[in-house]
Copies of this chain bind each other. A is one copy, B any other.
Amino acid sequence: MMNTPISHEALRMVDVATLRDTIRTGRYQGHTAGLAAGFLQVNLVILPERYARDFLRFCQRNPKPCPLVGVTDAGVRRFHTLGHDLRADTDAPGYNVYENGELARQCDNVAALWRDDFVAFALGCSFTFEHALMNAGIAMRHVDENKTVPMFRTNLPLIAAGPFAGTMVVSMRPVRKRDLSEVAEISARFPLAHGGPVNTGTPSAIGIKDVEKPDWGDAVDIRDEEVPVFWACGVTPQNVAIAARLPLFISHRPGAMLITDVNERADPPILDRRRAT
């Protein structure tokens, strides 16, 4: 069978099972924003078991940047609480492999690198609250401008666990002043997708010098009637795992998330097998 590449536009039309198969067979390596509408997308971290216990503690202690929505048994490739056949090693469109804190390689899957001591973690993603905001009629500037959301290092301390420590990474979205309370209230409904903002309108208070110069992603305009609003960001755990200089860890390629079979509004975000088809 030919592994013909498929476009993002074509994939917007397919069901989640077809989408997963397309990604698993290496026919799509792009970003997943706008794909599989209504299904929960997650950040992915894969670590050797010896670091898993402290990473679990780190997520529990820092739930806004690291909202844990799934964890595999050691050596098991599938997230059985998040999908009918959802593989951690093949089902993100791209993977980054880090060795001793350096990016060692990028791959379409990590099936051949899998080890019996690997544990995979799924962490909530801002797409969930962005969809809820857009459904409420609140525009997302970076989506409208087809950009990657701007992300910044901050001075907000994380609570350490074992080798995992550092400061929080945040994402920024400009919000009209009149929408601020609604935006805060809607995003707070999704504690497993970073929840409510960590700062509204005072970037210098969290150590951000220039909102026009993000550390990752693209700058976006902030208009006169808008203020910058900052949310805890799923880049935080990757950044922390890099800084910890673990001998080996793997993450999804930023923007190329793992797409689950769970409804993004499910509470809790666990596959209900009694309702599953």
Which A residues are closer than 8 A to B by beta carbons?
Answer: 49, 52-53, 56-57, 60-61, 63-64, 68, 70-71, 73, 80-81, 159, 161-162, 188, 191-192, 195-196, 267-268, 270
How far apart are the CA atoms of A192 and B68 in the complex, in Å? 13
How far apart are the CA atoms of A268 and B192 in the complex, in Å? 11
CB-CB under 8 A from A268, the residues of chain B are 63-64, 191, 195
CB-CB under 8 A from A49, the residues of chain B are 53
B61 touches A81 (CB 8 A): yes
CB-CB under 8 A from A270, the residues of chain B are 61, 63, 159
How far apart are the CA atoms of A57 and B119 in the complex, in Å? 11
How far apart are the CA atoms of A159 and B262 in the complex, in Å? 15
How many chain copies does the complex carry? 2
CB-CB under 8 A from A70, the residues of chain B are 60
Listed residue (A53, A70, A188) with the most chain B CB atoms within 10 angstroms of its CB: A53
CB-CB under 8 A from A195, the residues of chain B are 267-268
A187 to chain B, nearest CB (A): 11
A266 to chain B, nearest CB (A): 11
How far apart are the CA atoms of A195 and B192 in the complex, in Å? 13
Listed residue (A64, A161, A267) with the most chain B CB atoms within 10 angstroms of its CB: A267
CB-CB under 8 A from A80, the residues of chain B are 159
Q: Which of B56, B63, B81, B159 contacts A53 (CB 8 A)?
A: B56
